[in-house]
Amino acid sequence: MNPRRPAAPSQTRRRQGGPSTRRRMTVVVSVLALASLGLVARAFDLQVVRKQFYQDQGDARFLREMPIAVSRGTVFDRNGEPLAVSTPVMSIWANPAEVLDNADRIPALAKGLGVDAGELKQRLTERADREFVYLRRQMNPDVAQAILDLGVPGINGQREYKRYYPSGPLTAHVLGFTNIDDHGQEGLELAYDDWLAGKPGAKRVIRDRMGHVVEDVEQIRAPQPGRNLTLSIDRRIQFLAYNELKATMEKSGADSASMVIMDVHTGEVLAMVNLPTYNPNAVGDSSASSRRNRAMTDVLEPGSTVKPVLMAAALSSGRYTPTGPLIDTTGGHWMYLGKDIHDTHNWGVLTPTGVITKSSNVGAARIASNLDTDLMYGTYRAFGFGASTNSGFPGEASGYVKPGSRWGLREKAIFAYGYGLNVTMLQLANAYATIADSGVMHTPTFIKGGGNDSKAVIEPRIAQQLLGMLETTTQPGGTAAPYAWIANYTVAAKTGTAHKATAGGYSKNNYGAAFAGMVPATNPRLAAAVVVDNPTKGSYYGGLVSGPVFARVMDGALRLLDIPPDNIGRWYAGGPLQGQNGLTGNKPPEAPNIEEAPPEDESP
């Protein structure tokens, strides 16, 4: 019997049910179908379900929001002269990574920027992880465009504005300045920053991979340019004050000087000058001391310039009039509670007006000793001493007046001639403006037409009496004669010379020479206060040092403002000295200055 032959492998697989061609095709088709389904699902997810997400992501890689720079508002003086303007400039910025990818272009870029190529490359390398780095801010647009024309990849320009001050140092302390981002830092630029700055706009643009703007897509926010501001400052009067203070500082060897001029009927500040000063167009070259607005931030003991305020209290008490009662200053000394209060001369018996005319410390102290403390303290406070004027100027000092409840009898006498209290130059000028406007105090303002707050401080009758008393200081025998004389105008004023306080007491050789007054005396329109700090050459008296500054500046201001003369044909008029010595002619009389002597050792 023949053995059976084994079956072929293919036959064996068929009998065992192995895969066929049809089955393989089925599997392949199924896999392809599933893959296609997955692709469709993915496409649906991308195109429908998450379309907005990926659209936003794509836009983020090409769309950019760019600021639209706005010009800061222009600042004008009261006559429309520009004091602060904004000019267009260009800033150059870079994407460091893109620039470094083209390192061979860095030397040309550095030359255009005016910097060292090695330092520029190092700076870019240190910031390679950023997309935006300023290379140079606020360039001349033509110079910046020349850099952009180099076509260096990753280099772009951005339009900005830079502040420019045409008057330079002349108005520096009033205006202040802005920083590199055009935000106010000091002065009125800071006080009115929101008003002047405006609001930058914004737009959406498409950039290419090189960072260049390809297309403006839409405006997101419309730009709102800054609003203009018209100040009360008169640039012409500011110029007069600046020149006179500068000349006086050089002549007297003083450390500093300040002057404030006000319109007595509105409280508008027409001029405010401080020396030393600085150039706001180059703030980096100035010192902190030169940038200080001393008329607003510094305080001083006013010395005898405070005596009209004392006299306002005396007249208000009903116990004194301009002519009486008589005050005995015989000997020029008064030993009061162990304190030797003294004058420069033995003035004998004086009327209250004579106390002002001769600036008698003894007479002032004797009057104070007879006044109610609350009345005297209240009058000092009513005239604005010891409180901010609310002018709105940044950094304004309040000064200091000790509460009346803590006054000792000796302190009260010392307060009468201006020691032991601190005032600013603006406060002092405003006090005199109050007397000039029939006893009405206006809130000082630096904005034209901005003055509207006012209050009555003393009766008009008393204010008129004070004007007559103060007019005698510029007449023969007064402490300001003839140094504060103004041709064809009457002047009501007061001198003041005070030792400056130092650690442990008062300096014997360091003085503040002050002067304050009003013109024309018969119908005042302007009030001003001047102080020259520590004059070291020649005289240090307020009448001799600061009085001429007052006279020359106010002489020019009266004519610039077309204020009619009130004293044509005579050099002195009004007050009890009218007509003495036949004072007529075309030159002021020669008269010795009899300025009050500053006390040698006064302490609050």
Active-site residue list: 304
DSSP structure class, residue 225: P
Answer whether 210's CB lies under 8 Å from 105's CB. no
Q: Which of 233, 241, 187 is nearest to 449 (CA)?
A: 233
* Measured CA angle at 577 (ends 572, 582), to 5 deg: 60
CB atoms within 10 A of CB 454: 15
Task: Tell me the two tokens of residue 55.
Answer: 């659209």
Return the exposure string of 157-194: e unless at least 16 CB atoms fall within 10 Å of the residue's CB, then b: ebebbbbebebebbbbbbbbbbeeebebebbbbbbbbe
How many angstroms separate the CA atoms of 475 and 580, rounded? 9
* Alpha carbons 264 and 387: distance in angstroms, whole number: 20
CA distance 254 to 167: 24
Q: Are 393 and 499 in contact (CB under 8 A)?
A: no
User: Strand (E) positions, 150-246?
Assistant: 155-164, 201-207, 213-221, 229-230
Identify which of 468, 464, 462, 463 has the alpha carbon closest to the alpha carbon of residue 491: 468
d(Cα 355, Cα 349) in Å, to the nearest integer? 9
- Residue whose pair of structure tokens reads 């108005």 in the numeric block: 171
Where do we find the tokens 């950039």? 207
Neighbours of 23 (CB within 10 A): 10
Is the separation of the CB atoms in 327 and 375 below 8 Å?
Answer: no
Q: How far is CA 385 from CA 45, 376, 382, 431, in A?
A: 76, 12, 7, 8
Contacts of 403 (CB under 8 A, 6+ apart): 377
Distant-in-sequence, close-in-space partners of 478: CB < 8 Å, separation ≥ 6 = 357, 358, 472, 577, 594
Are 367 and 314 in contact by the 8 Å Cβ rule? The answer is yes
Q: What is the DSSP string of 110-161?
A: HHHHTS-HHHHHHHHHHTTT-S-EEEEEEE-HHHHHHHHTT--TTEEEEEEE
> Cβ neighbours of residue 422 under 8 Å, at least 6 residues apart?
299, 300, 301, 399, 400, 401
User: What's the CA gap between 174 and 270, in Å, rounded?
Assistant: 11
